[in-house]
Amino acid sequence: MIVTGNDAVNELVKEKLQKTGSRLKSLRKDLGFTQKQLGESLGVTQGFYGGIEKSRYSIPLEVLLKLKEIYNVNPNWVLTGEGSTFLEQNVNEDETLSDNLSDFVSLPLISCRISAGNDAVDIDDIEATLMFKRNWLSKFGDPQELSLIEVAGDSMEPTFKSGDIILVNHNQNFLDKAGGIYAIAIKNNEDSIIVKRLQYDCQSGKILVISDNKLYRTFLVSEDEIAINGRVVWYGRKI
């Protein structure tokens, strides 16, 4: 689901998700479960578990650990296809697997989209979690201060397209003097978040709220009229 702008990387990510989904489907059938039965035992809905099998979502860390805990499934086999499907019960192997899993960080993906247009929608529940290598993710900030949100609307094109996934650093909840792209809330509607480019306007002393799509107007707000949810530090795009 999450890919970079590089076509070669896109194909590799897509292939990895498909192979993981295929392994999980085979495992489920070997265990004799329906998607609903296995999903419920792992604490997720049938729709979400089915999405993993169909390679729409990557498998969350929590689900991976429950597969290991409940069914003794080898997490390394799920992610890479290497090793045996089921674990041998010994302390050393468990410690090694624990160390491998600590290399990954699971981030929430907000189910409701934020708007990149005039039709901002409310943030609802977490739809899924996606895993990233901890070393790579640390380039963008503390993982505990990061989250993923899907963009809707066309007002930030060509920078962001509808359906893009943005990574937001909530620790950067202030406007840099050089400006940047932020997830913000207008104070009279703080339950809704939009993504816009922000820049100080020296003449008025206010903040310019800019859409990269020139069909949308730029407008001014005072600092006390907006709340900055976080700065957009990375994005991914579906094929």
- pLDDT the model gives residue 100: 62
- The mean of the pLDDT values for the chain is 81
- Average pLDDT, integer, range 208-230: 93
Q: Give me the half-sphere count of Cα atoms (radius 13 Å) on the Cβ side of residue 151.
A: 30
- State the pLDDT confidence band at 211, using cuts at 50, 70 and 90: very high
Superfamily of domain 7-102: lambda repressor-like DNA-binding domains (1.10.260.40)
Whether CATH 2.10.109.10 fits 106-236? yes
* 210 has a pLDDT exceeding 50: yes
- pLDDT the model gives residue 116: 57
- State the pLDDT confidence band at 3, using cuts at 50, 70 and 90: very low
The residue type found at 207 is I
3-state secondary structure the chain: CCCCCCHHHHHHHHHHHHHHHHHHHHHHHHHCCCHHHHHHHCCCCHHHHHHHHCCCCCCCHHHHHHHHHHHCECHHHHHHCCCCCECCCCHHHHHHHHHHHCCEEEEEEEEEEEECCCCCCECCCEEEEEEEEHHHHHHHCCHHHEEEEEEECCCCCCCCCCCCEEEEECCCCCCCCCCEEEEEEEHHHCCECEEEEEEEECCCCEEEEECCCCCCCCEEECHHHEEEEEEEEEEECCC
How is the chain split into domains, by residue range? 7-102, 106-236
- Average pLDDT, integer, range 127-147: 83
Q: For 98-115, write each residue's pLDDT tens digit.
A: 556 667 777 877 754 555
pTM above 0.85, yes or no: no
Q: For 186-203, write each residue's pLDDT tens digit.
A: 877 655 788 999 999 989
